[in-house]
Amino acid sequence: MVHLDLPIAVGLVLGYLGSFAAVLTGDGNGSYFDTLIVFTTLMLVGRFLRERVLEKNRAQLLEDAGIDGLFCRRVDSGRVHVVAVTEIASGDTMLLAPGDIVPVASTALDAGTFSFDWVTGESDARSFQPGATIDAGASNAGRSAVLLKAAEPFSQSRLVRLLRAPTLGRGDAPSRFEGKIASIWVPAVLVAAAGGFTLHWLAGATLYAALSVAVAVLVITCPCSFGIATPIANELVLAGLRRRGLLVRSATFLERATTIRKIVFDKTGTLTSGQLRLAGDRRFDGLTGPELQVLYNLTCRSSHPKSAAVKSAIPLASQRFDPALVVLELPGVGLDATRGGCSYRLGASSRDPAADVAFSRDGELLAAFSTVEELRTDAVAEIAGLGQDGFQIWMATGDVAERALTVARSCRIPEERVLCVQSPDDKAAFIASIDQRDTLMIGDGVNDGPAVQQAHCSGTPAAGRAFLASRADFYLLTPGLGPVRKGLAAAQALRRALRRNLGWAVAYNGIALALTYAGWMTPLLCAVMMPCSSLVSIAMVTRSLGSKGSVWRS
Same domain, 54 and 191: yes
Compute the CA torsion angle 73, 75, 79, 83 (nearest 10 deg).
-40
Cβ atoms of 485 and 464 within 8 Å: the answer is no
pLDDT digits (tens, 9 = 90+) for 393-425: 999 988 888 888 989 999 999 999 999 988 888
Q: Which of 29-43, 171-185, 428-442, 519-533 has the lowest mean pLDDT?
A: 171-185
Long-range own/partner contacts, residues 506-515 (CB < 8 A, 24 or more apart) = 508/222, 508/225, 508/533, 508/536, 509/220, 509/221, 509/222, 512/220, 512/221, 512/222, 513/192, 513/217, 513/220, 513/221
State which H helix or E strand residue 369 sits in.
Answer: strand 364-369
Give whichever of 7-21, 56-70, 197-211 has the largest mean pLDDT.
197-211
- Express each pLDDT in 97-134 by its tens digit: 887 889 899 999 999 999 876 666 555 778 999 999 99
pLDDT digits (tens, 9 = 90+) for 309-365: 899 889 888 899 999 898 998 877 789 999 989 999 998 876 666 778 899 999 898
Q: What is the pLDDT of residues 272-287, one digit of tens each?
A: 876 778 887 667 888 9
How large a percentage of the chain has pLDDT more than 70? 82
Q: Are the beta carbons of 440 and 459 closer than 8 angstroms?
A: yes
Statement to judge: residues 282 and 363 lie in one domain: yes
Q: Does 262 share its domain with 381?
A: yes
Whole-structure pTM value? 0.67
Distance CA 427, CA 272 (A): 18
The total domain count for the chain is: 4
The Cβ-side half-sphere exposure at 454, using a 13 Å CA radius, reads: 20
Please provide the average confidence, as pLDDT, over all residues in the chain: 82
Does 412 lie in the same domain as 457? yes
Residue 54 contacts by C-beta under 8 Å, 6 or more apart in sequence? 231, 232, 235
Dihedral sign (CA 103, 108, 112, 113): positive
Q: Indicate whether 481 pLDDT > 60.
A: yes
What percent of the chain stands above pLDDT 90? 29
Distance CA 210, CA 207 (A): 5
Q: Are 553 and 244 in contact (CB under 8 A)?
A: no
pLDDT tens per residue across span 182-202: 778 788 888 998 999 999 989
Residue 501 scores a pLDDT above 90: no
| Whether residue 7 has pLDDT greater than 50 | yes
For the cut 50, the answer to whether the pLDDT of residue 168 exceeds it is no
Instruction: Indicate the length of the chain as a whole number.
Output: 554
Across 454-540, the runs of DSSP E, i.e. the strands, are 457-460, 474-476
Predicted confidence (pLDDT) at residue 455 exceeds the cutoff of 90: yes
Contact between residue 294 and residue 337 where contact means Cβ atoms under 8 Å apart: yes
The DSSP bridge partners found for residue 342 are 339
107 — phi, psi (to 5°)? -105, 130
**Is 1 within the bounds of a domain?**
no
- Are 29 and 148 part of one and the same domain? no
Residues 190 and 145 in one domain: no
pLDDT at 94 over 70: yes
Q: Give 127's strand partners.
A: 113
Where residue 294 falls among pLDDT bands split at 50, 70, 90? very high
| Domain end position, chosen among 338, 372, 406 | 372
What is the 3 state secondary structure string of 281-342?
Answer: CCCCCCCCHHHHHHHHHHHCCCCCHHHHHHHHHCCHHHCCCCCCCCEEEECCCEEEEEECCE
Residue bearing the bigger pLDDT, 71 or 430: 430
**Domain residues for 352?**
277-372
Q: pLDDT, tens digit, for every residue of 157-167?
A: 887 766 654 44
pLDDT of residue 520 exceeding 70, the answer is yes
Q: In this structure, is the dihedral angle defined by the CA atoms of residues 112, 117, 119 and 122, taken in order, positive or negative?
A: positive
Confidence band for 75, pLDDT divided at 50, 70 and 90: very high
Please, what is the Cα angle at 147 between 141 and 148, to 5 degrees?
Answer: 95
Residue 284 and residue 428 in one domain: no
Burial environment of residue 9 by CB neighbours within 10 A (0 to 12, 13 to 18, 19 or more)? exposed
Same domain, 390 and 462: yes
Is residue 201 located within the same domain as residue 55? Answer: yes
> What is the average pLDDT across 223-252?
79
